[in-house]
Structure 1
Amino acid sequence: MTAVPTPHGGRIAVERVSIELGTGAGRFEVLHDVSLAAEPGELVCLLGPSGCGKSTLLGALAGHLQPARGRLTLDGQPIAGPDPQRGLVFQQHTLFPWKTVLDNVAYGLKMKGVPRMQRQEQAAEMLALVGLSGFAHRYPRELSGGMQQRVEIARVLVNRPRVLLMDEPFGALDALTRSRMQELLLELWALLRTTVVFVTHDIDEALFLADRVLVLGPRPGRIVEELPVPFERPRHASLLTDPAFVALKRRCLELLRPDAGAGAPALDRLSPLGAARPVARYAA
């Protein structure tokens, strides 16, 4: 049996965070009094409808937004701005079209002052991990969408971030490519043990990937329930038809769409900290 590697990831804590956007009379609250934590090496999914503030929270964890109230920390230290320790992957890749795949992956190391030969060696190793060893000297335009996202993930992971923040990174891919990318992510996560906070509105994706799913309600977003995901790892696509998986999916549907299940609680009747499993205990 392969030994489980020591978690490389850091501990993310969100303590009673509220985030507001806009100015003057147009200012509005996107997230309200959100508390959660992601433990070192854990994979947590934020699941919710469009507009509930999932991506906004991820932007704050990346250091691009400051909360109106509350506190965000990594390993107990306040998050005050962007940092390579918190890598961010978007739905659409941000690769430089004029750079080769290898140079794109090595770019962050170049900004750190890593010598050319060393950074190219590390970039080549990361490309091998994502299955793109033969494409180091291609350009992004020569790759499929799934391959471009592999490069994007490699470019973030080459910096060995303590936290990987993923904002619907597979949302633009076709179903088969998306499934393969989910399995690749789980393989990389099992190897590197980086803490992952993954944003999605796809229930299957959240339950397939996560250790825990945190369900957010409509704007202003707040956590309405925490769902531990009990399925053994490694996970494969066949899990999606498992009766226990289907039952958990039904619960998610009830939370996101109160009309999807008989007797399901309406979101506006749930307390800000949820129902069956209180989320408050995850605040730091």
Structure 2
Amino acid sequence: MAFLQLNALSKRYGAVDAVVATDLAVEKGEFVSLLGPSGCGKTTTLQMIAGFVDVTGGQIVLDGRDITHAKPASRGLGVVFQSYALFPHMSVRENVAFGLKMRGVGKAERLAAADEILHLVGLEGFAERWPNQLSGGMQQRVEIARVLINRPGLLLMDEPFGALDALTRMKMQALLLDIWTRIRTTVVFVTHDIDEALFLADRILVMSPRPGRIIEDFQLTFPRPRSTELMTSPEFTHLKRHCLELLHHEDGRQLPRLNPLGLPNDHPRPRFAI
């Protein structure tokens, strides 16, 4: 059995099917991305795995244990959301160490562990800062450190870089890959950004618009470590086009033919002043 297994998982809200009969197997140490448009059920799927949303039907098995109806705190996993909720009255080090404090770990041990994780995310010089003294990208690094200090076997990430500017987002993606290469925890990463999914993941699971279901599961063979130069390669561009075609086909639309300027043929061509 895979490390994480979903068996016919489904979620219904009243008369609306959000996710239908979803099967998924994720191996230990694998980086998997759930890719799909907004409202397709990918976040709902993640929240069911985390235990934040009740399951309507099906089963969730993690490391051989049925956690379908287990409480979130007992599942042994970590979750990183797009919005970060750091304690404003605590320093960066105290925020990161908070989870260990709640587990009864002694002060010296938990602060040493916090320093180790802060070094891993590149924030060793900011341990005594307050959250409001950090940029958005740095706050998200603190959020990731706060989750990683608990050594989760499974890390769930729900569009964690969606609120960041493009340059910071790319830096955070590279940082995440560096961290994952070192610790090799299992990751399920939700995104609607095709470039992000292709750059980060070992496998991509493409989800359809509601009701959500997995319409394609494909392995990526890009070598690691990866650099941003990958995004301009012919292989990357080909797979990006394939993902676009899948999503547009499921949405009932055809991809427009592009003119030499990269614009749809029915798009008015720009006029350039000389």
TM-score, scaled to structure 1: 0.86
Cα distance in structure 1, aligned partners of 2:4 and 2:34? 14
Aligned to 2:129: 138
Alignment partner of 1:14 is 2:6: yes
Structure 2: runs of 5 or more not aligned: 258-274
Cα distance in structure 1, aligned partners of 2:36 and 2:202? 17
Q: Secondary structure at the match of 2:72?
A: coil
Aligned to 1:110: 101
- 1:66 CA displacement: 2.1
Alignment partner of 1:260 is 2:255: yes
Aligned to 1:178: 169
- Amino acid corresponding to residue 45 of structure 1 in structure 2: S
Aligned to 1:127: 118
Cα distance in structure 1, aligned partners of 2:78 and 2:122? 20
Bigger Cα Rg: 2
Cα distance in structure 1, aligned partners of 2:22 and 2:64? 17
Alignment partner of 1:167 is 2:158: yes
What RMSD over aligned residues (CA atoms) do the two structures have, in Å?
Answer: 1.2
Aligned to 2:72: 82
Alignment partner of 1:235 is 2:226: yes
List per-residue Cα deviations over 1:65-121 (Å, max 9, x = no partner).
221110011112122121362100000101111111000000100011000110000
Cα distance in structure 1, aligned partners of 2:11 and 2:66? 16
- Amino acid corresponding to residue 246 of structure 2 in structure 1: L
Alignment partner of 1:222 is 2:210: no
| Equivalent residue for 2:138, pick from 147, 165, 172 | 147
Cα distance in structure 1, aligned partners of 2:46 and 2:61? 13
- 1:261 CA displacement: 6.8
- Kept in 2, the 8 Å contact 1:13–1:36? The answer is yes
Counterparts of 1:34-73 in structure 2, within 5 Å, are 34-73=22-61
Q: Secondary structure at the match of 1:260?
A: coil
Q: Secondary structure at the match of 1:40?
A: coil
Cα distance in structure 2, aligned partners of 1:81 and 1:163? 15
- 1:254 CA displacement: 0.3
- Kept in 2, the 8 Å contact 1:163–1:194? The answer is yes
Aligned to 1:250: 241
TM-score, scaled to structure 2: 0.89
Alignment partner of 1:201 is 2:192: yes
- 1:60 CA displacement: 0.7
- List structure 1 segments (4+ residues) > 6 angstroms apart after TM superposition: none
Cα distance in structure 2, aligned partners of 1:30 and 1:261? 29
Cα distance in structure 1, aligned partners of 2:168 and 2:3? 31
Cα distance in structure 2, aligned partners of 1:124 and 1:243? 41
Aligned to 2:202: 211
Q: Secondary structure at the match of 1:257?
A: helix
- Amino acid corresponding to residue 234 of structure 1 in structure 2: P
- Amino acid corresponding to residue 223 of structure 2 in structure 1: E
- Amino acid corresponding to residue 130 of structure 2 in structure 1: Y
- Kept in 2, the 8 Å contact 1:16–1:35? The answer is yes
List per-residue Cα deviations over 1:243-283 (Å, max 9, x = no partner).
00000000000011121278xxxxxxxxxxxxxxxxxxxxx
Q: Secondary structure at the match of 2:59?
A: strand
Cα distance in structure 2, aligned partners of 1:136 and 1:156? 16
Aligned to 2:19: 31
- Amino acid corresponding to residue 13 of structure 1 in structure 2: Q
- Amino acid corresponding to residue 72 of structure 2 in structure 1: P
Cα distance in structure 1, aligned partners of 2:128 and 2:66? 39
- Kept in 2, the 8 Å contact 1:254–1:261? The answer is no
